[in-house]
Amino acid sequence: MSSSESVRRAPDVPSTLRWAGRIIAVEGVIGLIVAVIYVVREAAGHHEAAISGYGSAVWFAVIGGAVLAGGVALTRGRRWGRAIGMMAQILLLPVAYALLTASGLPLLGAPVGIAALAVLALLFAPASLSWLNADSLPPDAR
């Protein structure tokens, strides 16, 4: 048996994780877009008394970039992307609730909540958990 045959091939990433990764990546891109919007607004002279536009932009850029990286990693079969994606969804659930109730923006809150719940369902789907627990994954997937 050659050395290439002795290496076990990792099972293909299930579609549940690929879809979760794609949605998580889109959420990351949205975070980066919000960062750009904050910079443009601040540069155009729109100043808020309670927040810093540039500071908020940095926060959204860092968080959005991390979420984007996690989504891309999960789509490519890297297990570490799941943790970032899961935390993002858990943090989005109270945001969705606040948008639905306190802020009076149900047309924004409902899709955020539905997307967060859908991604959590995909991340905990039996196919996803089975793949994540597989011992045959290469070390770089862990």
User: Does a structural domain hold residue 8?
Assistant: no
Residue keyed to tokens 């999960």: 74
User: Does a structural domain hold residue 27?
Assistant: yes
pLDDT in tens, 49-65: 777 889 999 999 999 99
What is the domain extent for residue 32? 15-128
pLDDT band at 140 (very low <50, low <70, confident <90, very high): low
User: Does a structural domain hold residue 10?
Assistant: no
Q: What is the pLDDT of residue 3?
A: 44
In this prediction the pTM is 0.84
pLDDT in tens, 94-138: 999 999 998 888 899 999 999 999 999 999 999 999 998 886 666
- Overall number of domains in the chain: 1
